[in-house]
Amino acid sequence: MPGEPLLTTAEVAHRLRIKPETVYAYVSRGLLDRVKVPGERVSRFRLADVERLAARTQATRPERDAAPAMRTATTLIAYGRLHYRGLDAAALAPVTSFEEVAQWLWTGERRHAAFTASPETLERARRASEHLPAQARVFDRLPVIVAVAAAMDPLRFDLAPATVTALAPGLLSTMVDALPQVGEAPPDDGLATRLWSRLTGTPAYPDGVRALNAALVLLADHDLAASTIAVRVAASTRAHPYAAVLAGLGALDGPMHGAIGASVHRFIEAALRDGVPAAIAEWLRTGGLPGFGHPRYPDGDPRGAALLDLVTALPIEGALRRTVDDLVATAARRGALPNVDFAVATLAHATGMGPGAAEVIFAVARTAGWIAHVVEEYAQPSNRFRWSSGYTGPPPAAG
């Protein structure tokens, strides 16, 4: 066809992501036709033929450019345990404040310091989130709050590690303190206590706050989860830390990631209402038991076990305790052990928190880990995450 685009061997090899000699192997096998151009001694290939071959090979055997490595010194999942810079997270959770663990993730130094935010930033973030409709989830307020905190920080484009770790306590404080107050003003300045009063009207008490603090510690980071990858990709473009956190919140909101907590909450609710056998039968029919099992922990999620130990020690109402015990025992007979999502949902039920509490706890906690990954990513070459698409659509039009 006159004017039909023709490609060189090198161009074909680049498009198909193969070696030039493989192009001629395709020719010899009849997968690709050569075109002789008068006056030229080299072979040419029709663009349409190459695109058809690309669609065929890449649809059945996707070949991507090698993905850049995401290396981290922050978190390791090994030997059935979760470690933050070498320390066992489940061992830290019952005895260490979330603030101290966050500092450990960011700097490798263990120290507790109160997290506070600018009063003006807090007031503006509260006012902005108040404009959301009545049906908005508590989680829906967090992206608004983070966006306001970003706009209020003139140093947000300073990506130096010291600047990023300096802004992080204020960001976490704003995320918590700009949420609507549900319960009484907290008796102390700990972040867990302040978050408690945003999630439940039940008065705060030491063992309950200790369990909520442990949940924050256990969820602070988890290697390269989907939301953390989103954060690091954003940071690689040199998006400021607040923008990177917003990328993480977007990924976290997926029903197969941070938002799964609401499903677990409803699962426990159904078991309380309809009985454990009926609830399990219904959830198995629609896909599986939320809150049980984890691919990274075939022998059981240590985060779930550690948090459940603290939650079951709380003054839990009798029907809830029996239901939780029955769910755990029934699932165990199927070889499924409770994970951290089940433990957080149990905490929410035991303390009067609503179904949206779990994803808020998850988001606040994981922001600490995201900041640690942001600092690591800023030390890497920029824009390093770029994959080839493996295009399988129609070839470009001639002309």
Q: Which residues are catalytic?
A: 294, 341
Alpha-carbon dihedral 343, 346, 351, 355, rounded to 10 degrees = 110
Angle between helices 191-199 and 98-107 in degrees, nearest 10? 120
What are the backbone dihedrals phi and psi of residue 84, each rounded to the nearest 5 degrees, phi first? Answer: -105, 110
User: CB neighbours of 73 closer than 8 A, spacing ≥ 6?
Assistant: 85, 376
Task: Give CA–CA dist 264/266, Å, rounded.
Answer: 5
Q: Which segments within 213-280 are labelled E, that is strand?
A: none
Contacts of 19 (CB under 8 A, 6+ apart): 13
- Spatial distance between the Cα atoms of 165 and 372, rounded to a whole number of angstroms: 8
Nearest to 258 by CA among 369, 160, 163, 337: 369
User: Which residues neighbour 91 within 8 Å (Cβ) at sequence distance 6 or greater?
Assistant: none
